[in-house]
Structure 1
Amino acid sequence: MSRGRVLALADDLSGAAETAIALRLPSRIVLGASSGGLRAEGGSVALPATGDCVVVDLDSRQLPPTHAARSVQTAVAAGAFHGGLLFKKVDSLLRGNLAAETAAYAAGARGVVIASALPVAGRTVRGGVVHLGGVPLHATDAWRAEGRPPPRSVSQALRGVPTALVPLSVVRGGALADALDARFAQGRHPVCDAETDEDLDLIAAAAHELGPDVRTLGTGGLAAALGRLLAPAPGPAVPRPRDTPDRPLLVVVGTAEPTAVAQIAHLTAVGARHVPLSADELMSAPTSRLDITPIGITVVSLTGPVSPASSRELVTALASAVADVAGGSDLVLTGGETARRVLDALGITQLRPVAQIHHGAVHSRAPDGRCVVTRPGSYGEADSLLRIARALRPETPHPEPPHPDPVHPAPSRLRGEAL
């Protein structure tokens, strides 16, 4: 399959970076449609050349639905006018303005093929229902920070958009393109079940077979399937920035995910400095009074409960405080909202992806030369931040193994003893 030009849209920055790496093409990440010159009318449009990809972070997850839809409409009009392949990245937990943005994305297309599974993260779709580790999304606490219950299915999340289920048996049945076309003929957009990357490969191939007036919408898993289709061999890697161990490494954890506590602990175990900030400190204290100037590896995180209603204001305050001291620091930013606000405060409008450290943790280079790693807040094992730090700072020590207790030595395991 020959490489084509691709315009991809994401509703937050960590998702945009994940998409750029997954598509396997030389890529540029643009922070906001206006900063990249993506305009449907008047003036030139800075879209990718053949074989290249532009991924636009529309920064629309927290916008009112009508504003989010308008940002998608503008970007789609630019991409469609220039004949590019369009891809819309959505959150694998179905967060954001999913219905409004999908309706805008579908306008003018014969149909949209929807696949919201992300097998690499244990997120599958069966019977049109997203499952996390085999548990339906609506039976988990994955939406605890949203302030409302999660949708019970992909179709419910897309309320107002006409959809039709494509069960797993059809995805794997050998006539998927015909099945998708039949749903388009009914005026419906197919929602595809998927449990594996191979399922997503079948979906991407069938959608591509139906032509450029059929668009795809899904997670980074579907983006990766499109990447394998368009570029069976990954393109040449962007040269890695020169090692800069003399620069501070500033890690900003703006997520409320419980896993963040363990991730930070792995960093502090190897000597990183941790500066926890409460909401009251951020919102009331002048930045000059917050002791967050980075030295070596410094982790800044939010502590205590965060109300969904005030989360955007709080993240903006965190970003402002960080930008005041970031200087020439390299950055690790967890949570798409946090990452975008920090880079906005620093005046950084574009990134060039360099490599993926682990799934979702994307190492990019900013125009000013600094390294920037973005990662969704809900991703990563307990050692995620340590792995990222070690990728940027190979000299970071390994954690020391726990010392045996001389008073209460660990009991030896006897033959037949349960492990």
Structure 2
Amino acid sequence: MPFPSLAPRRDDRGARRVLALADDLSGAAETAVALGVPGRIVLGPASLDPHAYGEAVVTDLDCRRLPAADAARRVRGALRAVPSDVLVLKKADSLLRGNLAAETAACVDGAEGVVVAAALPALGRTVRDGVVHLDGVPLHTTDAWRAESTSPPPSISAALGDARTMLVPLDAVRGDALPALLHAAITAGHLPMCDAETDADLDLIARAALACGPDVRLTGTSGLAAAVGRLLRCPDGTSAATTAGQAAPAPAGERRQRPLLVVVGTADPSMPAQIAQLTERGARHISVNPDVLNSDVLNSDVLNPDVTSSGVPAPPRVPRSVDAVSGDVTVLSIDSGPGIRLGSAHRLVYALARLAADRAGDADLVLTGGETARRVLDALGVRHLTPLGQIHHGAVHARTPDGRHVVTRPGSFGGTDSLLRIATALRPDFPHLPTSHRKETSR
């Protein structure tokens, strides 16, 4: 569908406006803060009424789990009316998950060409000889796809499934002829895939790709988005917005402090330790049994809910045993102790998100997992976010139109202190709360 808010415009510095497309919300937020220019995160695929968004619009197309053809349609729809002087960046998952082949093909349609760069050096995710490596280990030999129903692809070329792909090796990326090489590849109808091991490599790729012409698009990770952002900085080298990588300012003092609800919608092995660091400092932990979600939420039409006049699904019934959010910090998660039945994880995340939204009140939110974050905000009727900064890589602090503070974070990002760092950034006095070790299980 057209994206009406992206009319051609250049600011006084001559900088190009940017449209970035992501397949989930945590990826969209990560991309927005990496770009580091004023803008909005739009919860698409439908766009809002046209108004000033700033220099960048980052849209969550919400298509990670859609069939490939449907995901491609969403990409084509978002690009249908975008003028050639708007720089288009298609966010790619750094682990090559999602509908990468279909979405890249859709991005190629109507463009002069597309340059692919899938490295994310900040997390040790590099590309050499066209193969993604995690801390030096080839992706396809790791367990990084343990939550996926298929095996990881052995190379980016295999993930793209496109005979037009052409490898641009590391020595070529770092050579003086890179702009000419990319231009020749695009002119010949190839899809250049660039090796990269450092942010400096991504800077070279972004600069060379943009030199190929205004209608050349980019596909890559938030690392590539950061490289694009560095090209859009002010002449004195400073960013036009909150610098990526810096913690966003804490909301304390801006207004009445709201409760803080942490919703854990990921099965990452580090989550129990992360939650424990919060409960040891006084957070309340509500662990919901999957059977409770199945019986009380999934069977109450949560997957086919009524829709309100605003287009937002109406809240379903929720377990009576889960109270509204109270106190300073509450953690809501799925109890994995009994085991989660194969194939039910997606449904449970949806149910957890709706439960969180129903009980959130006016709480500020920490949402782990892109799908969880999107489902919670959909249920709350949030249609766009203003990015404020980054607490750690991928943990993006944003604000809703009504002033609620939200931190989104991909499920696999951050160390064992990730949730504690986020809670501390939002609530500077949190580590000094008395220890209570409170944990409640809804059975």
Q: Which amino acid aligns with 1:397?
A: P
* Match among 58, 61, 69 for residue 61 of structure 2: 58
The residue number in structure 1 matching 2:333 is 301
Q: Alpha-carbon deviations, 1:228-248, whole Å to 9, x = none?
A: 011142114498754457421
Contact 1:7 1:48 in 2 (8 A): no
RMSD: 2.1
Q: SS of the residue aligned with 1:293?
A: coil
Q: Alpha-carbon deviations, 1:249-296, whole Å to 9, x = none?
A: 000010111111221111112111111123212111351423252221
Larger mean Cα displacement after TM superposition, 374-383 or 264-273:
264-273
* Match among 353, 366, 372 for residue 319 of structure 1: 353
Q: SS of the residue aligned with 1:130?
A: strand
Alignment of 1:179 with 2:177, yes or no, is no
What's the CA shift for 1:319?
A: 1.2
| Counterpart-to-counterpart distance in 2, 1:47 and 1:186 | 38
Instruction: Tell me: CA distance 1:335–1:210, structure 2 relative to 1, closer, same or farther (3 Å).
Output: same
Q: Counterparts of 1:165-176 in structure 2 under 5 Å?
A: 165-176=167-178
Contact 1:262 1:382 in 2 (8 A): yes
Q: Counterparts of 1:216-255 in structure 2 under 5 Å?
A: 216-231=218-233, 232-237=237-242, 241=251, 242-243=253-254, 246-255=257-266
* Match among 272, 283, 288 for residue 283 of structure 2: 272
Contact 1:7 1:86 in 2 (8 A): yes
Instruction: Tell me: CA distance 1:46–1:67, structure 2 relative to 1, closer, same or farther (3 Å).
Output: farther
Moved beyond 6 Å, runs of 4+: none
Q: Alpha-carbon deviations, 1:283-324, whole Å to 9, x = none?
A: 113514232522211111123244563333211111111111
Contact 1:15 1:376 in 2 (8 A): yes
Q: Which amino acid aligns with 1:313?
A: R
The residue number in structure 1 matching 2:369 is 335
Q: Which amino acid aligns with 1:62?
A: R
Alignment of 1:8 with 2:20, yes or no, is yes
Name the % identity: 59
What's the CA shift for 1:99?
A: 0.5
Larger mean Cα displacement after TM superposition, 111-120 or 255-264:
255-264
| Counterpart-to-counterpart distance in 2, 1:287 and 1:188 | 52
What's the CA shift for 1:104?
A: 0.3
Q: Which amino acid aligns with 1:130?
A: V
Q: Which amino acid aligns with 2:18?
A: V
- TM normalised by structure 2 equals 0.84
| Counterpart-to-counterpart distance in 2, 1:244 and 1:310 | 40
| Counterpart-to-counterpart distance in 2, 1:363 and 1:84 | 26
Contact 1:292 1:300 in 2 (8 A): no
Larger mean Cα displacement after TM superposition, 238-247 or 373-382:
238-247
Contact 1:2 1:230 in 2 (8 A): no
Alignment of 1:25 with 2:25, yes or no, is no
Instruction: Tell me: CA distance 1:141–1:26, structure 2 relative to 1, closer, same or farther (3 Å).
Output: same
- TM normalised by structure 1 equals 0.89
Contact 1:6 1:48 in 2 (8 A): no
Q: Give the total of aligned pairs.
A: 391
What's the CA shift for 1:161?
A: 5.7
Contact 1:7 1:87 in 2 (8 A): yes
Larger mean Cα displacement after TM superposition, 89-98 or 302-311:
302-311
Contact 1:292 1:322 in 2 (8 A): no
| Counterpart-to-counterpart distance in 1, 2:153 and 2:331 | 34
Q: Which amino acid aligns with 2:269?
A: P
The residue number in structure 1 matching 2:272 is 261
| Counterpart-to-counterpart distance in 2, 1:265 and 1:123 | 28
What's the CA shift for 1:374?
A: 0.4
Alignment of 1:67 with 2:98, yes or no, is no
| Counterpart-to-counterpart distance in 2, 1:129 and 1:398 | 46
Instruction: Tell me: CA distance 1:399–1:48, structure 2 relative to 1, closer, same or farther (3 Å).
Output: closer
Q: Which amino acid aligns with 1:298?
A: T
| Counterpart-to-counterpart distance in 2, 1:174 and 1:308 | 51
Gaps of 5+ in 1: 38-44, 402-419
Larger mean Cα displacement after TM superposition, 308-317 or 346-355:
308-317
What's the CA shift for 1:48?
A: 4.7
Q: SS of the residue aligned with 2:162?
A: coil
| Counterpart-to-counterpart distance in 1, 2:140 and 2:396 | 29
Instruction: Tell me: CA distance 1:400–1:326, structure 2 relative to 1, closer, same or farther (3 Å).
Output: closer
What's the CA shift for 1:332?
A: 0.2
Q: SS of the residue aligned with 2:389?
A: strand
The residue number in structure 1 matching 2:8 is none
The residue number in structure 2 matching 1:208 is 210
Larger mean Cα displacement after TM superposition, 111-120 or 293-302:
293-302
| Counterpart-to-counterpart distance in 2, 1:302 and 1:244 | 32
Q: Counterparts of 1:380-395 in structure 2 under 5 Å?
A: 380-395=414-429
Contact 1:92 1:117 in 2 (8 A): yes
Contact 1:29 1:56 in 2 (8 A): yes
Q: SS of the residue aligned with 1:397?
A: helix
| Counterpart-to-counterpart distance in 1, 2:342 and 2:203 | 36
